[in-house]
Amino acid sequence: MGLHGMLVRISLIRLIISPVLVAAASLVKPADGCPNKCGDVEIPYPFGLTKVCSLDDTFLINCSNKVAKTGEVEEQINASLSTAMYTISKFKNKFTVVGCDTSAYLHGFQKGERYTIGCTSVCNSLRNVVDGSCSGVGCCEVAIPDGSDSISVEVKSFNNHTNVSNFNPCGYAFVVEQGKFYFSHHYLRNLSNDKLPMVLKWAVGNETCQEAAKKKKKIVCKGNSECTDYPTVSGYRCNCKSGYRGNPYLSHGCQDIDKCENPTLNDCTKAKHCVNTKGGYTCGCSKWYHGDGRKNGEGCIADPLLVLKIAFVAGISLIAIVVVCSWLYFVIKKRRLVKLKEKYFQQNGGLILQQQLSSEEGSSKTFKTFTAKELKKATSYYDKSKIIGRGGYGIVYKGFLPDNRIVAIKKSKTVDENQIEQFINEVVVLSQINHRNVVKLLGCCLETQVPLLVYEYVPNGALFNHIHKESITSTISLSWNTRLRIAVEIADALSYLHSAASIPIIHRDVKSTNILLDDDFIAKVSDFGTSRLVPRDQKQLVTVVQGTLGYLDPEYMLTNQLTEKSDVYSFGVVLVELLTGQKALSFARPEEQSSLAMYFLYALKEDKLFEILANGIADEDNMEQVKEFMKLATKCLKVKGDERPTMKEVASELDGLRKMEKHPWDNVESN
């Protein structure tokens, strides 16, 4: 295998040349036939492509389009470079080593003294190799000492690449211009680039500026330029003086820059007061001002008389502006408020809502439009202490109206098209409903940035909190009779929505958190944000699935077809909650029983229903009621919607169970 790839030929060498910003033609010696390019590379004087066109033989550039064969150098194991009048740039180059079993050394001379630097690159596989990184895994790099004028490279392998030969048969070492070599893991197998650039420093002669100046004819710096010594390079370099640019090695090569044309080249406070001079510029000031006119100086200072004049004019103008602005403010204030309210009204779907309400029969005649000021005052400007609930579409505040009524004010979140639809839907649905077990909608406010709904206040909170004891107000244990009554009231409300409302309504999010309890623990169904009106000639709606996990109808989830039986399934889960006191979805239960419906049906299958009942639910007096309640819950949880009862049938059965409480079976039999 050998180490033939240890050196990539350094066949392209760049010289650090002072930047020049004038036309290319002015960079070369003004002699007939002096070319200024080798390929695409500009060759500025003192360099040249012929003896006539260069300063001397040391600046003669050999330009050839012929490329040496790669194999001529790749067979070398050690390589060296001697630069004579040039030194290798420390800041522009890196000594780089590529390989997974490779160490390399660079030997050189710096000011006549020998030195050695090294770099080791190791990797057992390609998994840890990162493209673009030369930190020691597959690739490493180190800086080289400044002022080196000759180098040689030595490359070694720890194990002759025997352990990594399948992906890295060779190692490589080379000096390359910083930023011109991007490491890739593909190079471990074959580094095909046989030409990489290296940057050399150069200088004129081998004397300092002072020594060359003593020999007046020997120094090569021309007009408007200055000589500069470099500590790591023998000789000197020429640079154009401040305010000039061009080629300092040519007569008239350094030309004056018009500092006033480019704002970055001067610090005059105003461009029109900038005056260009040879090698510099001056700044001036406008009439009635004095100073140096510079941003970094004293600038331009107003004369005292001008200050008084400006102050007088400014005072009169200010008074006039205040008078005019005050007049305009009172004139347009009312118009702006009206327009803003109109904007919010339309933004919140007010026009659509009006059309919907006017087209629906039986809309509530007591529905009121509240002002933003009324609701702010009612909630103490939406104080956090007034928050009584948070939902998927907004926050609910407790409010106090001037007539001493307590209300619940639902403030929607940031408005978007979907939320406007939910808001309008809830208003339209609730406007159709007049039932003691449905939360009553009192009105709304559309002149605010987000829409507001005003409901009757239901003081005892959500049924969920009382079942699961998750609220400090839920200290009262719900008895079996209370639970049964609540179930009857919920079923009666849903039955009304499905079959007695002017247009049938599917709630679509029946759950214990959407069932509120008043002072007497009377149940009221709430949150109609996702509900849908169903034309009487339709039995089902195709919609995007919405609802709450644990309560969602499995058939609805599979088919996207919403029917009233979807509410029946969700109500069945609420019935099981009332029976067991457990949550609709709990990951504390086994995975296959995390859903309360599955947990209940599993207990039914294993004949363990009475083992999962909440404490105090079943006793000798109500055993028959509980059994019938369980049977009804099981019917509601049928997977196929067609096999579930209607809400009207469910309400009827539950009402029958309550009558069992008033007329126990033993009394019936004795009579």
- Positions marked catalytic: 509
Q: Which residues contact 115 (CB under 8 A, 6 or more apart)?
A: 107, 108, 109, 145, 148
How far apart are the C-alpha atoms of 671 and 663, rounded to whole Å? 11
Taking phi over 0 as left and psi of -120 to 50 as alpha, with beta for the rest, 550 belongs to left
Q: What is the DSSP string of 84-147?
A: TT-EE-TTTEEEEEE-SEEEEEEEEEETTEEEEEEEEEE-SSSTT--TT--BSSSEEEE---TT
- Are 484 and 388 within 8 A, CB to CB? no
Tokens of 383: 């104080």
- Are 250 and 25 within 8 A, CB to CB? no
Instruction: Flag whether 583 is marked binding.
Output: no
Q: Which residues contact 32 (CB under 8 A, 6 or more apart)?
A: none
Peptide bond into 46 cis (omega under 30): yes
How far apart are the C-alpha atoms of 28 and 22, rounded to whole Å? 11
Rg (CA), the chain: 45
- Are 512 and 451 within 8 A, CB to CB? no
The three-state (H, E, C) secondary structure of 9-54, written as one string: CCCEEEECCCCCCCCHHHHCCCCCCCCCEECCEECCCCCECCCCCC
Largest CA distance in the chain: 142
Going by C-alpha positions, the residue among 370, 530, 524, 522 that lies closest to residue 451 is 370
The three-state (H, E, C) secondary structure of 580-614, written as one string: HCCCCECCCCCHHHCEHHHHHHHHHHCCCHHHCCC
How far apart are the C-alpha atoms of 524 and 518, rounded to whole Å? 8
Taking phi over 0 as left and psi of -120 to 50 as alpha, with beta for the rest, 559 belongs to alpha
How far apart are the C-alpha atoms of 291 and 283, rounded to whole Å? 9
Taking phi over 0 as left and psi of -120 to 50 as alpha, with beta for the rest, 196 belongs to beta
How far apart are the C-alpha atoms of 645 and 454, rounded to whole Å? 34
Output the known binding site for ATP: 411
